[in-house]
Amino acid sequence: MALLNILQYPDRRLHKVAKPVAHVDARIRRLVSDMAETMYQAPGVGLAATQVDVHERVIVIDISEMHDELQVFINPEIVWSSDERLFSEEGCLSVPGIYDKVERPEHVRVRALNEKGESVEVDATGLLAVCIQHEMDHLMGRVFVEYLSPLKQNRIKTKMRKQAAA
């Protein structure tokens, strides 16, 4: 296993749209393993391949207290989302130290492949629903701060650039 470099906002590579995974093979399983290690080390609860400059549709999530319930979503797609919406405070490993409220559907159903290449379907609410949607946004080249006002986005970009230069 290896720790991967997490891209920092406003890096342009975070805006690349990820391509579907053609085959779940040893290379993808290695990527999942490395992403999980990177996420736990950061520490975070979710990580999309886009964030580590791999532009394929792979997400790892673990919202458990003990960090022992890794969930893998390869080629995820939301097949249903509730009309009920919820504001939740979000943060991101690509935007360290920045947290803000984002409105998303409260409940989603996602279909994906797991690390064995098996089809899975998960009904998610609460933090898991937020994480799935947040990480899937990364696969579409979107960072959570883009849900915020232009003024907030500019302030965050300025702050992140100053941190990178320091």
The CA distance from 13 to 28, in Å, is 20
Q: Does 134 carry a binding-site annotation?
A: yes
Residue tagged active-site, from 56, 90, 115, 135: 135
Supply the DSSP string of 130-165, one letter for each residue.
Answer: HHHHHHHHHHTT--GGGGS-HHHHHHHHHHHHHHHH
Active site residue 146: no
The CA distance from 116 to 108, in Å, is 23
CA torsion angle 45 49 51 53 (round to 10)? 160
Q: Does 138 carry a binding-site annotation?
A: yes
- Alpha helix locations (H) across 6-149? 26-41, 126-139
Q: Does 92 carry a binding-site annotation?
A: yes
The CA distance from 143 to 7, in Å, is 11
Annotated binding site for Fe cation: 92, 134, 138
Residues with a catalytic annotation lie at 135
Annotated binding site: 92, 134, 138
